[in-house]
Structure 1
């Protein structure tokens, strides 16, 4: 029962979630305590390791400080100072002073059990004095000879301040040693001095921590300032070089691996000597206590989950039994008894409310589609597609539409520009801006018109139409013109949008709206003549045209030929005067109509095409084509646009004609230049272009358009023509004639000659003589 109930979205899931939440609270608290305890324990282990390293550092630094003190004491030793400038051979007095120095060195060595050997090296006599004897330096070098990687003779010539060297060999089987070196400089720096050397066994560095318990789990590594190993508690030295860049502070802990083993590495750097003290512990040893706490925590969590799961199952079964009995009773009344959408408590409530929700859903959908459906209804009414047999009163009532009066008309609006709401057509916000402007215009017109009339707005293609319904008193053309005027002023003032408004005549019935719409459309066409931003009333537009007078338009053949001639001569000013005269003559005629204006536009397009055909220098590469002229003129929406487009086309055509004349004159000069300098072997397109301040590509294109052949071909023809004349009239050799007409190579001359004549120059001479 419980498993089947859990598979559904029921109240049992909520109960189970509550039980799990209560169970997880102590588990989460325990995990947080575990995380905090591991953090504290880890910090304690780190502090313990740091404390051990600090203890070692303090002990070693104190020993090193003692050696610094001893070296300073020796530096001020009068007996040593008297021997700085000693030279070989030694006098008895100098030997006695050296003996006294040996006794002082014995005192120094016996006063510090940390030091194994004390040496003083005198640079001037190359001799080493110890606490027991004085001998040449090579005896000490022989003693240190096993350490082959160090050249002691060279090293002792340098000057040192508290410098330590790790020695690889064992001294007297006491283990590996470290040598401390300090150069003692006399009062006169230019004189040779001496070097004090202390040697001590590395095992003495770690005597203080032999019995520390932590040493059983890890080992210590001590490095000098040059990162050389001074001593280690382990015979195996790990690859520590990769760790050094990570020792960023004075002390710290890092995690590394060495030969597959994970290591916890604690380090401390001495501020006195620069030595680094490193404590290396295997990760499993380092985290031993943490792993133990982790295991205990996991066992406790598992036990809590097991015990809590059993308790949750028992209480779920006990509490769900009465709910299941009630649910079985309700299921008999449902067609789909297992469709529990939320929980059992809401099951019956949802069943009762489902019908109400479905009804509300349909009402909401109808409300969303109401504007579009009403817009479609008005569109059908304006276009005359509404059947007269339909019960219109019922249809109008469904869309909250009422026409209480018997006088009807249509007010049509066209947006000339979008003013502040203008944006590129490909802009993402363009469509939203257009919708916003349409919404604004529709609200403004409805608000103004509904004061004295009943008005409904409808979108018809690129126009916004307002259906007006009024009484004999309110439905007048003056009233409707006032509405149009106020709309234009409001839009121009607030959003700088200009609109053109056309108004139909007054119709006496609802079905007269079709005729009113057609009248408004016809009146709107007069925007071409009147321009944008006007109020066009149908009755005023057509009253000047009488039915018995046949309308005509003015476009005589003489004016057309005159326009073509002005374009051919490149006189743009006179050509524009002819077009303006034709347009003004037609506009001032009261009989002119929109269809005849369109005929005039076609006449202009035809005239320009004729002029373009007769232009002498015109070719396919010109920027203006027949199709462009035709399309640009037909797309004009007003007389002003037509005049502007005519001016652009005339300027382009006249400029093309003038440019053609200039180019022809220039090309004649180029031909004359070639005919004069054809014999120059360096003559080419670049040289000719430089002579006329033209780039080679541009010159080549102009000459090709003018002459029909490339400039290079023309040059070669001129040269071959003169070569043929010389071959006939002179006895010069072919090579000489080739040079005379501009060819440096005989092979080039023969190749070009054969290209144009089909035979070589020599063959041509033979044929001409025979």
Structure 2
């Protein structure tokens, strides 16, 4: 690799450095951009402030005059002379025409009260009369004068004036004595004391030129006024409202934005009136706005250009200076270690890979040695436990090779079975690794606890942990209990691992280790009876010489028959309590061996299945396939687990028995419901009649119906009759007495009383409502 040249490759460290330097170089460029954005914001704010000032003055002037017109409309609406003509009908009399002349004079006076008013109309709906300061016309002529120019139909026009109350501004096109002129119409309804009369509407016509005639706008600026319905009220440069000037494009009360107006870019300022909801908009060409930013933009461009030029030169010089030491180091390492460096590769990656390979190789060698040492030692201990020792190698040499020094000829074996892995419990691919870690921790804890007074050697065997205890000068069985208890407590407190411990007797010489292991295995099997998490001693087992033993278990025929009777009634609580007592009697005294305990559990399951046979349950085969009680017992590891499984099977057996009984009750209830719906019109329908129809006592039918439906049978009969009565009251014109007779009530008073009890009102009131 030549030092004089810098070669750029995609993976080379040169590229990483270049990216870093360019990132630093981008900082002044970003700052320049931020300065430009801030300057733009300042200029934008100043332009917006100037435009807002003009728009606010326009808003104040227009709102003030419109407010005067609204007050004038209120005064006119309260005028007795204007209001008195509302009641006039067609045809008009001479007195009516005289009144119209007086009203027209009043309108001239009102018109002079506000310079914005171009014309005033009063439309009297009752007589279809429209009166202005100059003439008296009808509604169609008014429509042709101020309504027909805006693509509005006569029906739409009449619908507008047909509203009960009107008070709003509407853009219009008016044509009285000249060409069509854009204007704004303010319509105000005259409030009437009598709401049944059609009423009248006062119309004020305001030309849009009047709205903007005293408004001074900046040079080249266009002003527009939009009402709250997105209609253009007035403008100084538009015939129609551009699409850009829509309410959804002008959010908020005021603001400044850019848009395309009539094919040209423009800066648009706007504000919204609080009183009318109108938007006042000022638009100036974007070119005038951009001129203010040209000088600042040129300065920014110059700053960015200088930054790129000077920064690029400095970047190149530093790249060359910093890369030379790396190049020398890689060339030296490649030559001495024999690891070639491919040109274009990442230099740091090459250095890291070379170091990782060295350390990894060293670690593999150490792990291989340690793994073989532990495996050989564990294999030797497994041979001691199972009584398989190599005949060709003396025992004392094997002990010395594994650094095992015996303190005495007395031995015992502890077996630990993991009931729950606690913090190491998981699922998936990680479980085997976590189990190995848990076993490793258990081996170290067992050796350390036992080694406080004696020597201990732990090995993993058939999924369990076996600990060989070699006693010191003294050998006491109580020491084994202490070791097992301390190991259990430590693993439970620190790792939440739950263990079952089995303790053998004490034997002499190495040959006694295998006998101690067999005893520990036998003690651990008794975990089925004692349950998980116990410390089981071989000397205390029923089958041992010191423990006595039993030839059977307690489950006599009269107890089995009593259990069958409880199950037949579906009484889960009593059946469960009796099964618990049977298990407790057999297990509490520890007098039952493992095979007999299993037989007891299978006998209990057999009793449950026998009960289903005796009561004739039809779905027994389907029940066995679904619940599978035998396989569930076989999969249990302890009597406690078996007890729980028998409880679940018992619960499902009792449920099945109760369901079979309730099914018969359900069929009776459905038949009674059908019978009532068929005979509700009979006056003789009652509980006695239903009992006779089904061949049962009335009290039994009523009790079964109540138990299944939750409703009294007499109430169901009344509700059924009332449902039919409501249908007749709704769709028929027959007398109430006839309706009562048709639904089974001979006495109309009884019908009225029961109807009011359930519906809250009498049948007559119900018929009036519906």
Instruction: Quickly name the TM-score band, shorter chain normalised.
Output: 0.5 to 0.7
Task: Give the equivalent residue in structure 1 for 2:458.
Answer: 457
Displacement of 1:335 in angstroms is: 0.7
Task: Give the equivalent residue in structure 2 for 1:338.
Answer: 341
Equivalents in 2 of 1:156, 1:650: separation in Å? 82
Q: 1:451 to 1:391 in 2, by over 3 A?
A: same
Q: 1:40 to 1:366 in 2, by over 3 A?
A: farther
Displacement of 1:311 in angstroms is: 3.8
Task: Give the equivalent residue in structure 1 for 2:474.
Answer: 474
Q: 1:145 to 1:17 in 2, by over 3 A?
A: closer
Equivalents in 2 of 1:126, 1:604: separation in Å? 107
Q: 1:343 to 1:522 in 2, by over 3 A?
A: same
How many residue pairs get aligned? The number is 638
Q: For 1:103-252, what aligned pairs fall within 5 Å after superposition?
A: 108=112, 114=115, 117=118, 130=133, 135-137=135-137, 141=141, 145=145, 147-148=147-148, 164-173=169-178, 176-178=181-183, 199-209=205-215, 212-215=218-221, 219-224=222-227, 227-238=230-241, 243-245=246-248, 249-252=252-255
**C-alpha contact (below 8 Å) 1:251/1:269 kept by paired residues:** yes
Give SS of 1:178's match: strand
Q: 1:347 to 1:281 in 2, by over 3 A?
A: same
Task: Give the equivalent residue in structure 2 for 1:47.
Answer: 49
Q: C-alpha offsets along residues 448-493 of structure 1, whole Å, 9 cap, x if unaligned?
A: 422321012333335432111234x234556445645776798999
Equivalents in 2 of 1:643, 1:98: separation in Å? 105
Task: Give the equivalent residue in structure 1 for 2:518.
Answer: 518
Give SS of 1:451's match: coil
Displacement of 1:233 in angstroms is: 2.6
Counterpart of 1:383 (choices 367, 382, 386) is 386
Q: 1:282 to 1:347 in 2, by over 3 A?
A: same
Task: Give the equivalent residue in structure 1 for 2:316.
Answer: 313
Task: Give the equivalent residue in structure 2 for 1:717.
Answer: none
**C-alpha contact (below 8 Å) 1:68/1:162 kept by paired residues:** no
Q: C-alpha offsets along residues 531-582 of structure 1, whole Å, 9 cap, x if unaligned?
A: 884643469988849xxxxx99969xxx99x979988997999xx99xx9xx
Task: Give the equivalent residue in structure 1 for 2:674.
Answer: none
Task: Give the equivalent residue in structure 1 for 2:414.
Answer: 412
Q: 1:210 to 1:593 in 2, by over 3 A?
A: closer
Task: Give the equivalent residue in structure 1 for 2:405.
Answer: 403
Q: C-alpha offsets along residues 358-383 of structure 1, whole Å, 9 cap, x if unaligned?
A: 32454367668977775455334423
Q: C-alpha offsets along residues 72-114 of structure 1, whole Å, 9 cap, x if unaligned?
A: 99999999999999996479999998998799689x48xx8x5
Equivalents in 1 of 2:642, 2:69: separation in Å? 108
Q: 1:409 to 1:283 in 2, by over 3 A?
A: farther
Task: Give the equivalent residue in structure 2 for 1:722.
Answer: none
Give SS of 1:213's match: coil
TM-score, structure 2 as length reference? 0.58
Equivalents in 2 of 1:600, 1:69: separation in Å? 104
**C-alpha contact (below 8 Å) 1:179/1:197 kept by paired residues:** no
Task: Give the equivalent residue in structure 2 for 1:678.
Answer: none
Q: 1:140 to 1:296 in 2, by over 3 A?
A: farther
Displacement of 1:26 in angstroms is: 1.1
Task: Give the equivalent residue in structure 2 for 1:536.
Answer: 537
Q: C-alpha offsets along residues 16-46 of structure 1, whole Å, 9 cap, x if unaligned?
A: 3553344222112112222323333343444
Task: Give the equivalent residue in structure 2 for 1:25.
Answer: 27
Q: 1:340 to 1:499 in 2, by over 3 A?
A: farther
Q: 1:43 to 1:437 in 2, by over 3 A?
A: same
Give SS of 2:469's match: strand
Task: Give the equivalent residue in structure 2 for 1:358.
Answer: 361
Give SS of 1:332's match: helix
**C-alpha contact (below 8 Å) 1:421/1:437 kept by paired residues:** no
Q: For 1:295-694, what aligned pairs fall within 5 Å after superposition?
A: 297=300, 301=304, 304-317=307-320, 320-321=323-324, 324=327, 328=331, 331-338=334-341, 355=358, 358-360=361-363, 362-363=365-366, 375-385=378-388, 387-389=390-392, 401-415=403-417, 445-471=446-472, 473-475=473-475, 477=477, 479-480=479-480, 483-484=483-484, 499-509=500-510, 513-522=513-522, 524-525=524-525, 533=534, 535-537=536-538, 544=545, 621-622=620-621, 623=623
Displacement of 1:288 in angstroms is: 7.5
Task: Give the equivalent residue in structure 2 for 1:752.
Answer: none
Q: 1:157 to 1:118 in 2, by over 3 A?
A: farther
Q: 1:394 to 1:120 in 2, by over 3 A?
A: same
Q: 1:126 to 1:334 in 2, by over 3 A?
A: closer
Does 2:41 match 1:56? Answer: no
**C-alpha contact (below 8 Å) 2:416/2:466 kept by paired residues:** no
**C-alpha contact (below 8 Å) 1:570/1:653 kept by paired residues:** no
Equivalents in 2 of 1:648, 1:194: separation in Å? 85
188-197 or 296-305: bigger deviation: 188-197
Q: 1:177 to 1:426 in 2, by over 3 A?
A: closer
Equivalents in 1 of 2:465, 2:654: separation in Å? 42
- Which runs of 5 or more residues in structure 2 are unaligned? 568-577, 665-692, 705-770
Q: 1:355 to 1:396 in 2, by over 3 A?
A: farther
Task: Give the equivalent residue in structure 2 for 1:767.
Answer: none
Q: C-alpha offsets along residues 659-685 of structure 1, whole Å, 9 cap, x if unaligned?
A: 9xx99xx9xxxxxxxxxxxxxxxxxxx
**C-alpha contact (below 8 Å) 1:267/1:278 kept by paired residues:** yes
TM-score, structure 1 as length reference? 0.58
Give SS of 2:57's match: helix
**C-alpha contact (below 8 Å) 1:414/1:501 kept by paired residues:** yes
Larger Rg: 1
**C-alpha contact (below 8 Å) 2:501/2:536 kept by paired residues:** yes
**C-alpha contact (below 8 Å) 1:453/1:474 kept by paired residues:** no
Give the superposed CA RMSD.
7.2
